[in-house]
Each structure stands twice: as C-alpha cells, then as structure tokens.
Amino acid sequence: MEAAIIGIGMTTIEKSKIGATYADLVWEAVNKALNDAGIGIEDIDNVITTSSDFWDGRTISCMAVGDASGVRYKNCSAVEGDGTFGAAYALARTLSGDYNTTLVTAHSKGSESISSIITNAAFDPIYQRSFGLDMISASAMQARAYMHATGTTAEQLALVSCKNHKNAKDNPYAQLPMDITVEDVLNSEMIADPLHKLDCSPVSDGCCAIIIANADFVKKLNVKPVWIKGVAFCADAYFMGDRDLSKARALEEAAKKAYTMAGITNPQKEIDIAEVYDAFTYQELMWIEGLGLAEYGKAGTMLEKGMFNKDGRLPVNPSGGLLSGHPVIAAGLYRIAEVVLQLRGQAGERQVNARRGVAQGVNGLCGQSHCVWVLDKDK
Amino acid sequence: MEDIFNGIEPQVYKSQISVPYQWWAGETASKFFITLRDEKKILGKQCPQCGKVFCPPKKTCTYCYVETNEWKEVGPKGKVLTYTIVYRQLASLKKKVPVACGLIQLEGSDNAMLHYIEEIEPEKITTGMQVEAVFADEKSASIHAISHFRPVK
C-alpha cells in the first residue's frame, strides 16, 4: 500500500478543557499536525472530520469544525464514530488517486454533557434503552462474560489499570498519570459489578489530527513518514443479545485482514508495539487476544509475567491508553498517533523499541465494530 | 491558549436538548408486544434458513440475511448468560440502585433478551442461573409487559 502518515497532532487530554470550544481543540491539533508534516493548509487536498452529534450536542457537528480544519472550498466528508474509521475513509480517498493528501480530525468534549445519558442513547429504543444501561453497565456485562469464559480474574483486570496509569506518567498528553496498586483498584468504588471505578476510563476532552499522503507526495517532504501496511474493519451484530459477548469475533476478522494486507503471518512475533482501545481494563486483555497477540484467555497471565509492560516483549499502551484519558471519538486516532511517534523514535520518555506496530479503534457498545491499523517504520 | 487570553474567565453557555420522539416499533415488535400484553405469551421468530429462533424477535436473520417467517412460543423460563449489578446511581438508570440487569436466553430461543433480574439478593445471581419471566400487573404493549425475571423456584 503506497500511503503514509506524514503528520500527527494531539491536544493534551484533560478532564475539562473549559477554556476551549471543540473547534478550538481541532484548530490546535490540525496546526500541530501541519507543523509536524512541515506543510501548510494549502497542501491539504481534502478533509475527513470525525465527530458525534450526540456528544457534541449539535446536529451535523462535523461542519462546526470546518473553519478549524480549513475545509472551505475543499472536499470535506464526515464520519460518525471512532477516529480510526474516519482515518480508514481518508486512506481510501488518498489511495483513490484523486488526492495527494487527506487531513483527518477527531474530537470530543465529554466534559460538556453527561456520558451516562449519551451512551444510553446507543441502545435500541424499542427493546433495550428503557432499562437504563449505559456504556459502563453494558461493558460490565461483557466483562463478566469474558471473565466467566476465560477464568480471567479481577486481579488481572486491576493489573491493566496499574500498568497503564503508570505508563501515563511518561506521557505529557495523559490525563491520569498515577501509581496505583491492585488493591487500590479492587478497593475503588464498585460502579457496575464486576467493574470498579479504576477499571473504567475517565470522561475526557481532546482532539487528534493526522495527515495521510500518497508515496509521490511523501517524496517531496523532509519528514519521517510512517507507512500504512494494513487497515481493515469489521462489525458484529448490533444487539448484544445476538453476540457472544465473551469473544471479539469482529476484531479477530479485522485483524486477520489487516495482517494479511501487511504480510504478517505471526503477529505475536512480528508486532513490536500495540496501542489498543482500553476503555475498560478487561477490554485491553480481550482486544490483545482478538488482535492475535495472545491466545484466547491467556492475556491475563501474560500481563502478570510483564510481557505487555513498557520493557516487556510486546509493550501494550505505553502511552497509558484510554484508562489514562478517554476522549471518545478521538480515542482511536490517538492510538494511531501514539504508534506513529513510537515508530519514528519520537515518543520521549515512553519510547519503546519498535519497527512495526498495531493501533485499534472501536465503535459501538461492547466492541461492536473494530478498526485495525498496521503501521511500519519502513516502506 | 495565547497570552492575550490570560486572566479571561471562561464563560459557559448552559442549555439542554429536549426533543420528543416517537419510534414506531415495527410489525415484528408490535406483534411480540401485543401478544405479551394480551396473552402473556413470549414469542420468538424463526429463520427459515438456519432455523435459529430470535427472542426478542427480529424481522431479519442476523446470520442469513433473509426474513424470519415463523412465530414460536419461547420461555417463560430461561438462563442468565451474563449480568451486571449496578451500584452507582448512573444518570441513565430509571430504578434505584442496586439494579441487576442481564442477558437472558429463553428456552427455545437462540439469542438473548436484556431484562431486569429481581426477587433475589443481587449478590446471589450467578451466570447460567435458571430464571423465569414475571408479567407486569399493569398492562402495556412494551418490553415492560414483562416486569422482570426471577430465579426458578
């Protein structure tokens, strides 16, 4: 695949960025991405904005960031959902041959609404919404299904939280860097059994932008491109009752396709770093397995052995992940941006030794759909 | 933020969006709800191709991409596939915590229904537990024609 990521821009992830509108966040992230690529807005051929009307409290919210992303008189399209899906659309546009460069933005300000009410609205109104579940309580059902099927323990879940909050101490963009113990997690408030407060990601504000370019455009630049080797997404059934919640079948399918595109036959050996969508502790373990980076049900044990630590065989979320800051919608694009920094060797204190990495985004309740990106330092 | 904004107090515009909606339930859910209300029977709908029965019933099969065509009575007993007990009074909840909710696979059905699990101390709920539907006293053509599920005695 002849396309690369040539620039990334992230705002810091914070509990409440009260001084900025979400368009201000997009402005900041886009300008950082342009500076990172060493180009100007005039070099951007088309734009994909990623947002959610419910989170933004405004219909056609994608258009509200038009000025901030420089879309005037340009082809701009929008994706509702996670930023990785917006980036997949951007990649397709770049590869179409019609555009040299595509800018992708993804933003949200969780601080401006009530996340429980927003995520309750993801449920079907005829059969399900009236029970009052939200993202946390729905995920709690999945956590239990996964733990029941695999024997993964509450202590192993807690260890994910300890690892990621500790990793966040090396990430200047993270919202919740901290040293905590397994006991701290298990003693934190039980919000929805089996998920404690410290098993859950926080509500956050943030914006991420990336720029994708074709190989011809990359040649003109004086930057380190990160090459896109494989991208795939896959969806499962909408109703949770129509799925086996203990398994991430859609992720397995997406990962297989992305690895095939990238020529990867043994991801456990060939992937050096993973940034996965750890909205909840159990999800990091489930997604590691769904990505083929551990056998089903074995990620908890591998975590205990330190294999996913920053200095382990396969560092997972050296950024601190979403547990350390979760701007919904932007979350998956941050995962891509973090892998880009790692592969360029520009990840600062959180740098690991990596040539090839995988980033993952999720859309929908309990991982209904997944988007997998395989990125490489070399063409 | 640039320096020129130093000392400027951030202003917040407070508002809310309140939009009345009415969602038609569709023919499939309508028949399911009316039968629940008038006959206290739980109906699933079967796929003619793979034979799977869905309850809550679906117009189309999630596996075969064909329309389901045959109504089958299912339940009222079933088993808890997974569940949660919500302890924090999350803004989306309608009931007071603790609220126990689970995915319940009814006898004769191949998928699972989301519903409350009550008449048991929440801590005693287990995965795989046998439960049965309890119909609501108040008649309504909705999923709440079933009040909740309780353990089979």
B14 touching A (Cβ < 8 Å)? no
> In chain B, which among 118-147 make CB contacts under 8 A with chain A?
122, 127, 142-144
Contact A141 B102 (CB under 8 A): yes
What percentage of residues in chain A have a pLDDT greater than 90?
97
Sequence-distant (6+) residues with CB within 8 A of A362 are A82, A277, A279, A283, A287, A331, A332, A368, A369, A370, A371
Contact A148 B114 (CB under 8 A): no
pLDDT at residue B139 greater than cutoff 90: no
Sequence-distant (6+) residues with CB within 8 A of A198 are A158, A161, A180, A184, A185, A188
Choose between A63 and B79: higher pLDDT: B79
What's the rounded mean pLDDT across residues A53-66?
88
pLDDT at residue A1 greater than cutoff 80: no
Question: A-chain residues within 8 Å CB-CB of B99?
Answer: 132
Contact B115 A134 (CB under 8 A): no
- The string of pLDDT tens digits covering residues A208-234 is 999 999 999 999 999 999 999 999 999
B111 touching A (Cβ < 8 Å)? yes
- Contact (Cβ atoms closer than 8 angstroms) between residue A95 and residue A37: no
Picking from A358, A376, A270, A263, the residue whose alpha carbon sits closest to that of residue A317 is A358
Nearest to A128 among B82, B86, B114 (CB): B114
Question: B-chain residues within 8 Å CB-CB of A127?
Answer: 29, 56, 113-114, 143
Q: What is the residue extent of each domain of chain A?
A: 3-113+203-219
Smallest Cα distance from B57 to chain A, Å:
10
Smallest Cα distance from A150 to chain B, Å:
13
Confidence band of A111 (pLDDT split at 50, 70, 90): very high
A60 touching B (Cβ < 8 Å)? no
- The string of pLDDT tens digits covering residues B4-27 is 888 888 899 999 888 999 999 999
User: The dihedral of CA A90, A94, A95, A96: what is its sign?
Assistant: positive
Question: What pLDDT does residue B34 have?
Answer: 97
Average pLDDT across chain A, whole number: 97
- The string of pLDDT tens digits covering residues A174-215 is 999 999 999 999 999 999 999 999 999 999 999 999 999 999
pLDDT at residue A61 greater than cutoff 90: no
Nearest to A148 among B58, B91, B127 (CB): B127
pLDDT at residue B1 greater than cutoff 60: no
Contact B114 A240 (CB under 8 A): yes
Separation between Cα atoms, residue A293 and residue A367, nearest integer Å: 17
Confidence band of B2 (pLDDT split at 50, 70, 90): low
ipTM of the assembly? Answer: 0.95
Nearest to B91 among A116, A195, A241 (CB): A116
Contact B92 A142 (CB under 8 A): no
Query: With a threshold of 0.90, does the pTM exceed it?
Result: yes
Q: What is the residue extent of each domain of chain B?
A: 25-151
Nearest to B85 among A132, A193, A239 (CB): A193
Separation between Cα atoms, residue A90 and residue A97, nearest integer Å: 12
Nearest to B116 among A131, A194, A242 (CB): A131
> In chain A, which among 166-225 make CB contacts under 8 A with chain B?
189-195
Cis amide leading into B56 (omega within 30): yes
Confidence band of B108 (pLDDT split at 50, 70, 90): very high
Question: A-chain residues within 8 Å CB-CB of B114?
Answer: 127-128, 131, 133, 240-241
Sequence-distant (6+) residues with CB within 8 A of A42 are none
Give, for B115, the enclosing helix (H) or strand (E): strand B113-116
A142 touching B (Cβ < 8 Å)? yes
Question: A-chain residues within 8 Å CB-CB of B1?
Answer: 19-20
Question: A-chain residues within 8 Å CB-CB of B87?
Answer: 189-193
B115 touching A (Cβ < 8 Å)? yes
What's the rounded mean pLDDT across residues A104-109?
97
B22 touching A (Cβ < 8 Å)? no
B99 touching A (Cβ < 8 Å)? yes
CATH topology of domain A3-113+203-219: Peroxisomal Thiolase; Chain A, domain 1 (3.40.47)
What is the DSSP secondary-structure string of A95-125?
HTTS-SEEEEEEEEEGGGS-HHHHHHTTS-T
- The residue of chain B with its CA nearest to that of A146 is B82
- Strand partners of residue A109: A205
pLDDT at residue B125 greater than cutoff 70: yes
A144 touching B (Cβ < 8 Å)? yes
What is the DSSP secondary-structure string of A166-205?
HHGGG-TT-S------HHHHHHS-EEEETEEGGGBPPP-E
Smallest Cα distance from A200 to chain B, Å:
13
Smallest Cα distance from B153 to chain A, Å:
24
The DSSP output letter for A12 is P
